[in-house]
Amino acid sequence: MPDVLGGYWLSEPQLRFDYENRKALSDNAYEGLRSLGPYDLAERRKLGKKTVRTLIVGRADRPEAMVAVEAALTKRRMGKLHDVFELKIVDRLRVPATNTKREADAYRTSVRDWLGRSRGQNPIDLAIVLHDDEELYRIRAKGASPYYATKAALLMAGVPTQSICYKNLAAGKQLESFESYFVPNILTACYAKLGGKPWVIQDDGIGRPEITLGVATTAIYGGSGEDAERFVGISTIFKENGAFALWEITPLHKTWTAYEAGLEKSIVQAVETYETMEGRKVSRIACHVSGKRAGRREIAAIRRALSRFTDRTIAADLVHITDDAALWLFDGRDSSHRPEAGFLAQLTNDGRTVLLHTDGRSGSAARKFPPRPLKIGVHGNLPTEGCRDIYQHLYDLRWMSWRGVGTASRPVSIDYPARMSRLLAHLHFQEEVEAIDFLPKLNTSAWFL
């Protein structure tokens, strides 16, 4: 007789808005942000309404898109969010039209000239960058993207950027969809990039990890031969309520041994920086390691890093998460064959290894197969309550991707490091930008959203 695998559903969290109002709770991020205001609403009101001086960058031969974006972003209101935050377009940078292969250079040159005219003073807080789909630049320009060229130049000046594709601004139904569905996501992401906290997870429980440490690795490609591939470790820290706190990256390392030592050092630095920021010491950490390559080396580095805090013992929930496992979950009761979001299937009797489905059934009819679930493995000593709280905490972190008002398919502790990995590679590709050296100056900023 075959083994029978156990399974159960995890619950969806409540989200907290306006930290001074204990009743400001909602299970819908958009409605909560609109009717209750962002989590840091009270603090923002004390500082006064924030008018975000914004630059739009786009091609000179597509002026209608620039007009459409300005109208959509400045006329759409999101209730109480706009009590403390609004975009004001203060300039429009029209990049000379050129062919796709030279477009990144044209954007880079125009932005640098514009920054030069500002004479070292930043007259803007944010830039909106209009461009074609990235796949076009991958195929026709060997990956040289006007968005990443612009982002690199503006990051050096301390200005975050927001990407918008021209295809989403086509007149008619596409523009109507942009105004209805894209704009709330863009405003939420912009608010977070500028240091705001749109919402957090409501959790009055006792015993949850005080911080969540998300760890990932990426390879940066350079010259030829042995120097072609170098490794970078990325560590992100989130507060107990899921809010983003800070991140650290290692220097470029040529060997896995050097990388592992560098990751250990950066984890210690990240925890110490967080404790200094918060004025308190932590005693329990959730450590989420992700990626195809990530695993044994990262867990070893985490163990050694935490053992260096000799003044106390830091308990750690060590969790390895894979989002490309060759496994699926099927539900024969639904035509999509996709389980409901939150279903967890245990692969081992002790509950240490599971498959977790996070996507839900919305829009699934067009897919031949359901998306792959997360494969999760718990390492080390288990807390007294077992694994279930570990999985619930990880599942809750889907709500903390401030890139929009919907849930993400992956918890933020693995989504943010993965997103940073891709951005680091793109930024490193840009000429005259030493991203690995410069970006640590921005380690409390969510620029990568």
Task: Please provide the DSSP assignment of 313-340 as one string.
Answer: --EEEEEEEESS-S-----TTSTT-PPP
For 138: left if phi > 0, alpha if psi spans -120 to 50, otherwise beta; the answer is alpha
Residues 189 and 205 in one domain: no
For residue 34, the enclosing domain spans 18-193
Burial of 351 (0-12, 13-18, 19+ CB in 10 A): middle
Q: Which tokens go with 295?
A: 């695993």
In a domain, 244, yes or no: yes
Percent of the chain with pLDDT over 70: 90
Contact predicate 366/391, CB 8 Å? no
Residues 156 and 279 in one domain: no
For 254-269, how does the pLDDT look when each residue is reduced to its tens digit (9 = 90+)?
Answer: 888 888 899 999 999 9
**CA geometry: angle 295, 297, 302, nearest 5 deg:** 90
Give the mean model confidence (pLDDT) for residues 434-448: 76
Mean pLDDT, the chain, integer: 85
For 116-152, how does the pLDDT look when each residue is reduced to its tens digit (9 = 90+)?
Answer: 887 767 689 999 999 998 888 888 888 788 999 999 8
Number of domains in the chain: 2
**CATH code where residue 351 lies:** 3.30.420.10
In a domain, 13, yes or no: no
Task: Tell the residue number behind the tokens 């030069």, with chain if given.
Answer: 116
In a domain, 305, yes or no: yes
Residues 107 and 178 in one domain: yes
Pick from 193, 210, 230: which residue ends a domain? 193
Give the mean model confidence (pLDDT) for residues 288-304: 80
Residues 149 and 251 in one domain: no
**Predicted confidence (pLDDT) at residue 218 exceeds the cutoff of 90:** no
For residue 3, the 8-state DSSP code is -
DSSP 3-state assignment of 130? strand
Residues 212 and 340 in one domain: yes
Confidence label for 90 from pLDDT (cuts 50, 70 and 90)? very high
Pick from 175, 193, 211: which residue ends a domain? 193
Residues 169 and 312 in one domain: no
Residues 237 and 124 in one domain: no
Contact predicate 259/230, CB 8 Å? no
Strand order in the sheet with 161-165: 85-95, 50-59, 126-131, 161-165
Residues 173 and 223 in one domain: no
Name the strand (E) or helix (H) holding 87: strand 85-95
Pick from 193, 227, 245: which residue ends a domain? 193
